[in-house]
Amino acid sequence: MDAPSPSASPTPAVTVENLTKVFKSGFTKKPLLAVKQLSFEVKAGEVYGLIGPNGCGKSTTMKVMLGLLKATQGRATIFGRDSEEVASRQDVGFLPENPYFYKHLSGRETLNFYGRLCGLRGAELKDRTEAMLELTGLTHAAERRVGGYSKGMLQRVGLGQALIHEPRLLILDEPTAGVDPVGSRRIRDLILELKQRGITIVVTSHLLEQMQEVCDRVGIMSNGRMVSEGKLEELISVENQTELILQDAPPELLAKIRALVQEAGGKSQVVSEGKPRTTLEKLFLQSTTQTGDGE
Amino acid sequence: MKNKILGVLLLVAMGVAKVPLEDRVAATLKAADLRDAPIPLSLQEAMGQMAFTAALGGLRSLVASITYLRAYVAFEDRDWGRVDSLMTLTTRMQPREAMYWDEAAWHMAYNAATSTQQREDLRAAIRNKDFRDYVLRGLKIVQEGLVYNPNNPKLLVREAEIYRDRLKDPRPAAEAFLLAAKNGAKPFYERMGAYELVKLGEPPDLQQAYEILKRHYDKGFRYPSVLRDLDILERKLNIPVGQRVGQPLPPSPQPRRK
Amino acid sequence: MSSASTRSAYTSFSPGRIWTMATHTVTQLIRMRILVFMGIISMVIVIAAFAFPAVSPEQQLKLLKDWTFGALQVFFVIIAIAATGLLIPRDLEDRTLYTTLSKPVPRYEYLIGKLLGVMLLLGSGLLLMDLVFSLMLYVKQSLIISSQIAALEKEQAATPENIAFIKDLNSRFGLTYSLHGAVWAIFLKASVVAAVSLLISCFASSTLFTILVGIAFVIAGQGQALLREWFLDKMSGFWQKFLSGAIAVFCPDLTLFDIAEPAIRGEIIPLGVLTEVTGIALLYIVGYTSVAYLFFVEKEL
């Protein structure tokens, strides 16, 4: 799998232009405005995070990008193709939230089925299926019916089917929801690996923290609108503060630094001082050795 | 929304367009005798028939076979009223199935009638009346069956047999046998008709009987009963001795024919 | 990706994808234990063949045919409604539809694939049942002929004339090509019912709703011809006429496929009739599936 560099494809991977989606359900209920005048663009090769609370319109936006829903106004394109065209789906792999598959199929049959739908046949289909089983660590469970899979395993089959036809764009809806920290870590590692290969990724999450380290850019949605968008560092860095972390510093040195700050005068002041803490997640990852393969 | 409106329009357009085509296929089925043509019945009868069709769809034959089997159980229990009502239900469901009419008539005219005759708890006069009532009921059933299945040989033979065996009435028996033979019953039934004509004894009947039996004789059916009746006819019709082929029955043993 | 060039390029109509959907549907239905139905029907056939030795030989053959065709009609219409009703609403409920339709699969291919899968299952099931039935009927018929000839010989009436008559009668009431024609008509009927159920399931949201409405359509479809021929002329009230007219327009006439009864009676079903019946079935299937597509293409998922 040789990856073209992000710059090789000048057309943006995704554009969403003035997207508005209104749901009309039933005769008595009021129409529900899910997305309003939303616009954003995802460049090829980028990892883009769409973040926001539940019900903010993230999933609706994704479904429009996949042609599962029709836009009330505006449009979305995938590599220049209108998302309502079926052909635009050739370049997309989609992992839905809490994916669910045909219980009667085994893991291998599931991947085979989706591969065939994407036009894969014969030796290529076989190779891709095996490659996906390996990538997602499901080779040992390939013959088991999906009905007996755990949540994490379903997530991995979902990832396998999304990638089976080597799409240029991967859309992940809440990939880490309901997955334990080990699984979550693996998914984030995988996102980074896929990014290395040049695959564009759009990922939604309501768990902001987890997206920090993988996203190049994020868009924050609320009530169907984009409230903030940009590079992650820009969004989260506090412009007028500076962090300084010291190791093995004696109390005298710290006192000197405090004195220096006071001497400098002006607006400079020490806001906080203390010992950095490891995150609970890191602690969890350090103290659990479970790989997740044995599920 | 546009497509949905289009969908409804297409559904209606197809619905309107399909009706004449459905009529055409229905007509083809009728022409091939695969669907019951309207039967000249009273409105009430026709409505009843239609209700059955609608309610049971293609399952009438299955339901009929179930009521038929229940009638068979009732027959084994000698519950004649039940046999009659269950067989009526059966024939109503599949009126074009001659077999059901035939069996319904046989149950009444033979089984029920004979069984009544054997009841010793009844006075002779009552027994005879009941016997005749059952036989006439059987006759009525077979004749009703002939309305739905005109000229059906099986039903004509049953009718003839009831007249011959149960009512001892040779004329309608002969007519029914001959009509049955004309409509595809075994040739043997034509001879049965001839035997009944012999019983009548009128010259035109005898002449007709002679023609039938001589024809069968020439074809090689030279059974004792053919020879016996030819003997009688040749003498009564004064056939020249040289042309006579009949011979009286040998005294014993008498072969029996069903 | 570079290797994308080695696989078949996307086309807006792909028999390969439809076949993938269809075979997947067959696998799905088979693994839902739908084959149990076939086992039950086979048992009905075998029981019908040997359970009623007391009645007359003709009746024995008739019972075998009545029970077989009754069972085939009931079970295959039920399979058609239930199988189709289970497919799309279930895909929606389980959200498996998302993953399928987010692949390059046009929605009409999804629908055609599902219907084709159900029809494949119905067809192969009926073929299997026809084989079992034909075998049983043939065995039964041979047994009856030999026992009848033996009885004739006992009565010293085994003339060539009588034997020919018995053989002729049995061949008319035994296994005939028309009976296979009647099985084909059941396949057509079940396929039409499947197409109607597919249409219903495109605007229904649950399996139960699809199945119940499907059954209502089958009942209306059985009575439709009656309404058309009889009541439409004689009904007077506006609403009565309107309702009868609506049923006649929206429901298929399922009685057109009821040719088992005459076939059992020994009537011959000409090829021309079968062709016409097949033609109208195709019209129904294509028509209802097209309408289903127009509803499904706008479905918000």
- Greater pLDDT, A280 or A61: A61
Instruction: Report which of A287, A108, A293 is spatially closest to residue A183, judged by C-alpha positions.
Output: A293
| C-proximal residues of B, 96-115, CB under 8 Å | 96-97, 99, 103
Confidence of residue C134 (pLDDT cuts 50, 70, 90): very high
pLDDT digits (tens, 9 = 90+) for C73-87: 888 999 999 889 888
For residue C218, what is the nearest residue in chain B, using CA coordinates?
B57
**CB B209 within 8 Å of CB B175:** no
Greatest Cα pair distance in chain A: 76
What mean pLDDT, rounded, does chain A reach?
Answer: 83
Residues A105, C28: Cα–Cα separation, whole Å = 8
Whether residue C161 and residue B187 make contact (CB cut-off 8 A), yes or no, is yes
For chain C, which residues make up each domain, given as ranges? 14-296
Task: Name residues 128-167 of chain B within 8 A of C (Cβ).
Answer: none
Of B12, B52, B35, B48, give the one whose Cα is nearest residue C256.
B35
- Is C10 in contact with C104 (CB distance < 8 Å)? yes
CB contact under 8 A, C99 and A114: yes
Give Cβ neighbours of residue A113 (< 8 Å, ≥ 6 apart): A102, A105, C20, C24
**Beta carbons of A23 and C300 less than 8 Å apart:** yes
Does pLDDT of A207 surpass 80? no
The reported pLDDT for the residue numbered A288 is 62
Nearest by CB to residue C249, choosing from B16, B24, B96, is B16
Share of chain B above pLDDT 90, in %: 38
Cβ–Cβ contacts within 10 Å for residue C301, how many?
15
Structural domains of chain B in order of their starting residue, each with its CATH number: 43-150 (1.25.40)
Q: Are A65 and A172 in contact (CB under 8 A)?
A: no
Instruction: Check C73 against B58: CB less than 8 A apart.
Output: yes
Report CB contact under 8 Å: A118, C103: yes
Looking at chain A, the whole-number percentage of residues with pLDDT higher than 70 is 87
- Yes or no: say if B245 and B227 are a contact pair by the CB < 8 Å rule: yes
C102 in contact with chain A, both atoms CB, cutoff 8 A: yes
* C156-175 residues touching B, CB cutoff 8 A: 161-162, 165
SS3 of residue A249 by DSSP: coil
Is residue A175 helix, strand or coil? coil
Say how far apart CA B220 and CA A23 lie, in whole Å: 91
For residues B121 and C14, give the distance between their C-alpha atoms in angstroms, rounded to a whole number.
83
CA distance C288 to C65: 32
Q: If you search the block for the tokens 């199945």, which residue do you land on?
A: C211
CA distance C277 to C265: 19
Asked if C256 lies within 8 A of B25 by C-beta distance, the reply is yes
**pLDDT, average across residues A211-230:** 85
Neighbours of B137 (CB within 10 A): 18
Name chain C contacts of A102, Cβ cutoff 8 Å.
24, 28, 96
Confidence of residue B53 (pLDDT cuts 50, 70, 90): low
- Given an 8 Å threshold on Cβ–Cβ distance, is C9 in contact with A23? no
pLDDT digits (tens, 9 = 90+) for B156-186: 999 999 999 999 999 999 999 999 999 988 8
From chain C, the residues in CB contact with A98 under 8 A are: 95
pLDDT in tens, C171-208: 778 888 999 999 999 999 999 999 999 999 988 778 88
Q: How far apart are the first and last CA of chain C?
A: 29
Per-residue confidence band for A214, with pLDDT thresholds at 50, 70 and 90: confident
Predicted local distance difference test score (pLDDT) of residue C60:
84
DSSP B60: H
CA distance C5 to chain B (A): 35
Q: Distance between alpha carbon A94 and the CA centroid of its chain, in Å?
A: 11
φ and ψ at residue B252, rounded to 5 degrees: -160, 160
- CA distance linking residue B32 with residue C219, whole number of Å: 25
User: What's the gap in Å between the CA of A243 and the closest CA on chain C?
Assistant: 43
Q: Domains (ranges, CATH) in chain A? A: 6-236 (3.40.50.300)
Please, are residues A112 and A160 in contact by the beta-carbon 8 Å criterion?
A: no
Tell me what pLDDT residue C116 has: 96
CA gap A13, A201 in Å, rounded: 9
pLDDT, tens digit, for every residue of C239-263? 777 777 788 888 898 989 988 888 8
Q: How confident is the model at residue C168 (pLDDT cuts 50, 70, 90)?
A: confident
Within 8 A of A158 by CB-CB distance, chain C residues are: 99
Among C47, C56, C59, C244, the strongest candidate for a mutation testing the B interface, having the largest count of B CBs within 10 A, is C59
What 3-state class would DSSP assign to A278?
coil
- Compute the nearest-CA separation of B238 from chain C (Å): 32
User: What is the C-alpha separation between B70 and B77, in angstroms, rounded?
Assistant: 11
pLDDT, tens digit, 9 for 90 and up, residues A130-184? 999 998 888 999 999 998 888 888 888 999 999 999 999 999 988 877 777 887 8
At C38-50, the pLDDT tens digits run 888 888 888 888 8
Whether B105 shows a pLDDT value over 70: the answer reads: yes
- Averaged pLDDT, C131-154: 88
Residue A215 confidence (pLDDT):
87
Q: What digits encode the pLDDT tens for the residues C207-243?
A: 888 899 998 888 888 877 766 666 556 656 777 777 7
Contact B7 C54 (CB under 8 A): no
Would you call the peptide bond into B170 cis, given omega within 30 degrees of 0 as the criterion?
no
* Strand order from edge to edge, sheet including A225-231: A92-95, A169-173, A200-205, A47-51, A217-222, A225-231
Residue whose C-alpha is closest to residue C146's, from C120, C166, C123, C168: C166
**Cβ atoms < 10 Å from Cβ of C175:** 21
Lowest-pLDDT range of A30-44, C187-201, C282-296: A30-44
> What pLDDT, on a 0 to 100 scale, did the predictor assign at position A208?
67
Q: Considering only alpha carbons, which residue of chain C is nearest residue A110?
A: C24
Top pLDDT among A278 and A65 is at A65
For residue C136, give the nearest of C198, C59, C44 by alpha carbon. C44
Hey, which residues 132-171 in chain C have their CB within 8 Å of chain A?
Answer: none
